[in-house]
């Protein structure tokens, strides 16, 4: 199983970011994770390589367009592309063929034979706690798998396919049309290069059958909305023994009752009483790590101020450390007061000089000046 992190997520950019924003984000991260600044740290070295791969793709308009459309699969045509591994679709030549292939005669040289199975998508919903700690689970998918009786060949057990005599196993035939020579898939073997005289009765010569499979999925700590996990070879089986496709799991994180996530930061709203705001104090916030975090509230704090607990946020995906917990303070004015509380507040009001609240005092001074008073 291979976890593939979204290039935009790696560079901490929105998908709508312009070239300048992407370049600026890359430079910032490259400085942060450069091996010279993190000597001997394997995690930083891996992160540095990952952000370089992401920037190499997103800085090129053509590569970025292909990535936006096909994701990581756009560059897995051969072992030399980013991400490695053979893939039957996604390279620029494949995109060209998908647009012009039929006009040009059905495909380029070397595409004869059974084709690789299709990639599949599975959408999974997880909680923010599962995204924080990581999660191991099972999923059930309906997918075509290699036919066991014929071993995926499509031929009846004890028999085998023979070379197509029409195309001599090439899977393609050529025809002269005026000045042009046009290649098309062989009409006899339909591009397979082989003909099955005695098809397998179980799969009817397809070499694959529909089946329900249960798969183990390991979700690493720190994943975010839209993170994709690739299960290699767990997609549709290829026809007549061709390699299977991959299964892509797209993660969706449920809305949390307390926290909102922004990158590796966790944001929470904390209403406090006006006495705590005036005198200071401590509030406790339960973290996703299972601990209660004591947050010191300084005296005189105002609504809208932020308090930060370092290292109490989300873990860094495929890296070390955690983000921060950011508490947004909201001072709550009491709406239900006892007679004694009202009496105390009236006594306090009689002692006010205006200096207790310099902002409001300054506002009314400016207001008088503006009105010529």
Annotated binding site for Zn(2+): 147, 150, 164, 167, 186, 189, 200, 203
The residues that bridge with 293 in the sheet, in sequence order, are 285
- In angstroms, the CA 284 to CA 294 distance is 5
253, two tokens: 């994180």
Would you call 293 exposed, middle or buried from its count of C-beta atoms within 10 A (0-12, 13-18, 19+)? middle
91, two tokens: 């390279």
- In angstroms, the CA 88 to CA 302 distance is 59
Phi, psi of 250 (to 5 degrees): -100, 125
74, two tokens: 């756009």
Residue 315: count of CB within 10 angstroms of its CB: 22
∠ CA 154-158-161, nearest 5°, is 45
Task: State the DSSP code for 315.
Answer: B
- In angstroms, the CA 35 to CA 49 distance is 10
Which of 216, 254, 237 has the alpha carbon at shortest distance from 140? 216
- In angstroms, the CA 222 to CA 320 distance is 10
Q: By three-state DSSP, how is residue 78 classified?
A: coil
* Residues that constitute the known binding site: 147, 150, 164, 167, 186, 189, 200, 203
Q: Tokens 């509380």 appear where?
A: 341
Which of 123, 46, 84 has the alpha carbon at shortest distance from 316? 46
């Amino acid at each position: 199983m291979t976890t593939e992190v979204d290039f935009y997520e790696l560079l901490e950019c929105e998908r709508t970011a312009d070239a300048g924003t992407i370049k600026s984000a890359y430079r910032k991260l490259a400085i942060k994770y450069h091996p010279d600044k993190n000597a001997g740290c394997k995690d930083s070295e891996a992160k540095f390589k990952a952000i370089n791969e992401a920037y190499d793709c997103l800085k090129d308009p053509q590569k970025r367009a292909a990535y936006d459309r096909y994701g990581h699969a756009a560059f897995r045509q051969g072992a030399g592309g980013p991400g490695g591994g053979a893939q039957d679709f996604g390279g620029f030549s494949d995109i060209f063929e998908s647009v012009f292939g039929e006009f040009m005669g059905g495909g380029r040289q070397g595409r004869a034979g059974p084709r690789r199975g299709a990639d599949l998508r599975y959408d999974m919903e997880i909680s923010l706690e599962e995204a924080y700690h990581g999660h191991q689970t099972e999923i059930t998918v309906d997918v075509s798998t290699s036919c066991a009786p014929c071993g995926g060949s499509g031929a009846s057990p004890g028999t085998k396919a023979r070379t197509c005599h029409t195309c001599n196993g090439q899977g393609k035939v050529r025809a002269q049309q005026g000045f042009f020579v046009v290649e098309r898939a062989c009409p006899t073997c339909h591009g397979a290069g082989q003909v099955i005289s005695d098809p397998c009765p179980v799969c009817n010569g397809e070499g694959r059958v529909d089946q329900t499979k249960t798969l183990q999925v390991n979700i690493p700590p720190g994943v975010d909305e839209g993170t994709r996990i690739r299960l290699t070879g767990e997609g549709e089986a290829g026809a007549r023994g061709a390699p299977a496709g991959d299964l892509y799991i797209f993660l969706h994180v449920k809305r949390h009752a307390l926290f909102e996530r922004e990158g590796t930061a966790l944001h929470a709203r904390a209403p406090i009483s006006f006495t705590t705001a005036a005198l200071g104090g401590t509030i406790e916030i339960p973290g996703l790590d299972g601990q209660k975090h004591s947050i010191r509230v300084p005296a005189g704090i105002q609504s809208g101020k932020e308090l930060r607990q370092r290292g109490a946020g989300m873990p860094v995906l495929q890296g070390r450390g955690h983000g921060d917990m950011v508490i947004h303070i909201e001072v709550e004015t009491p709406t239900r007061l006892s007679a004694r509380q009202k009496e105390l507040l009236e006594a306090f009001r009689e002692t006010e000089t205006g200096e207790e609240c310099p902002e409001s005092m300054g506002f009314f001074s400016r207001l008088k000046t503006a009105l010529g008073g």
